[in-house]
Amino acid sequence: MPAVGSAKVFEDVKGHWGEKEVQYLVDLGLINGYPDGSFKPNAPITREEAAKIIVTELGLDLNSDNNIFPDVKKGYWAEEYISAAVENNILTGYPNGNFGPKNLLTRGELASILVRAYDLKEKESSTTFPFRDVKKTYWAYNNIKILDQHKLVQGYPNGNFGPLDEVTRASFSAFLERLLKSGSETKISYFANDPSLDNQVADAFLKQSELDILSHEIITAMKQVREFGKPITVNEFLKISISTKDLQGLVKPFIFEYQPIETNNQDKPEENTEGNNNGDEESTTRSIYMVNNPELDNGVLIVFYAESGLEIDAEKILKAMNEVRKTNKPVSVDNLLTISLSPTPFKDYENPFIFEWIVNN
């Protein structure tokens, strides 16, 4: 799994055992720090906080109309998250009719929340249930067992699970990070959050991921995420959200999370090539037309990087594009890429760029 971003780590998390897990959730905008700039990784997490994080990650609709708990007042900051969690059978109230929003979450409760929220199913396992302090009569026994079968839970060095122990903010992050990364390797890409670049972003992502999703479905989802501020899942393959932080030089970019497809190079059709081969059987010249509009230069970069896989400094390419515009002469970048202007229109592009580069077979 590639690194998930470059946001600054909270000072009180640096060197903590859960630093990586906490940072993963922070980068995804799922968990925040406190006004004093700290994260407090060893502080316990409450039921209301857990409700918000899980509901946000799942992108569930918020609705306070179904609030049935007398201890969750109308207009309370977590009311909508609690209602959504209860409505979707992720969390439940207590026998006395209360929800207990500020009650501290236990490890047994967290196991049940994760199993219900992500619809985890019991699996056949040849291993013995490892936690001696969780009896079969314990109400969360089956859910803890399911987490163990999915390899999503770790106990203490003494062999116990500690179902009644409070869940710290770092432990919660570790549980959820492990779950979100489980199964097929989840990949994350960041893209510019700029409406004028949506078409280029969609095209670049599809070339990068090779997922069987229509471009207009991605563009529609991006618009909805912008408008409503909630994650959107596209065809069960792709989850789109917006980062709460600036990452990788982008201002609050889109976060694309997806499961890469398995590819077999022998079954993959040969790529169409353009340009001259010059008799060299080990390399091929590739070319692509790009829109010639200074306002869309960043989008051109996105498409080029996704198409070519070349690692050329972005500033060099942008400088070359401007030089080509001024002189109408081809410009070479690092002897890897040649940029020129087409003498004729191409499709809907007036006076487009031609990007040519060498592909080693």
Q: For every one of its 361 residues, what pLDDT tens digit does the chain have, with 9 covering 90 and above?
A: 223 333 556 899 999 989 989 988 988 888 988 889 899 999 999 999 999 999 998 888 887 777 889 999 999 999 999 999 999 999 999 999 999 999 999 999 999 999 999 988 888 765 688 898 999 999 999 999 999 888 888 788 788 999 999 999 999 999 999 888 875 566 778 888 999 899 888 888 888 887 888 888 899 999 999 988 888 888 777 889 888 777 767 888 898 888 766 533 333 333 333 333 344 444 567 778 888 888 888 888 888 887 777 888 888 999 999 999 998 888 998 888 899 988 777 666 778 888 888 776 5
Same domain (yes/no): 322, 226 = no
Domain boundary among 159, 180, 201: 180
CA atoms within 13 A on the CB side of 222: 25
In angstroms, the CA 219 to CA 222 distance is: 5
Q: Is 241 found in the same domain as 134?
A: no
* Planar angle of CA 248, 236, 117, nearest 5 degrees: 90
Q: For the CA atoms of 74, 78, 80, 84, what is the dihedral angle to 10 degrees?
A: -130
Is 240 in a helix, a strand, or coil?
A: strand
Based on the number of CB atoms within 10 Å of its own CB, is 22 exposed (0-12), middle (13-18) or buried (19 or more)?
A: buried
DSSP element (H, E) containing 214: none
- Residue 13 belongs to a domain: no
pLDDT of 324 reads 92
What is the spatial distance between Cα 200 and Cα 302, in angstroms, rounded to a whole number?
A: 7
Residue indicated by tokens 């039921």 = 47
- Does residue 295 share a domain with residue 193? no
SS3 sequence of 256-277: EEECCCCCCCCCCCCCCCCCCC
Rounded Cα distance between 276 and 225, Å, is 43
**Are 211 and 85 found together in one domain?**
no
3-class SS at 318?
helix
Could you give the number of structural domains in the chain?
3
Q: Answer yes or no: do 45 and 76 share one domain.
A: yes
Same domain, yes or no, for 82 and 160?
Answer: yes
Q: Are residues 339 and 206 both part of a single domain?
A: no
State CA 7 to chain mean position distance.
Answer: 14
In a domain, 272, yes or no: no
Q: Which among 197, 224, 258 is the end of a domain?
A: 258
**Separation of alpha carbons 78 and 290, rounded Å:** 47
Indicate whether 114 and 147 sit together in one domain. Answer: yes
Do 227 and 293 share a domain, yes or no?
A: no
The 8-class DSSP code of residue 131 comes to -
Position 160 in a domain = yes
Residues 50 and 157 in one domain: yes
Domain assignment of residue 334, yes or no: yes
- 187, β-bridge pairs: 258
Q: Do residues 152 and 175 make contact, with C-beta atoms less than 8 angstroms apart?
A: yes
With respect to residue 7, please indicate whether it lies within any of the assigned structural domains: no
- Residue-range definition of the domain harbouring residue 68: 19-180
Residues 99 and 166 in one domain: yes
Summarised one tens digit per residue, pLDDT across range 246-256 is 776 788 889 88
Tell me: the pLDDT tens digits for 201-233? 888 888 888 788 888 889 999 999 998 888 888
Tell whether 273 is covered by a domain. no
pTM recorded for the entire structure: 0.55
Is residue 33 located within the same domain as residue 142? yes
Whether the Cβ atoms of residue 353 and residue 324 lie closer than 8 Å to each other: yes
Does residue 250 lie within any of the structural domains?
yes
Last residue of some domain: 258, 293, 314?
Answer: 258
Structural domain contains residue 277: no
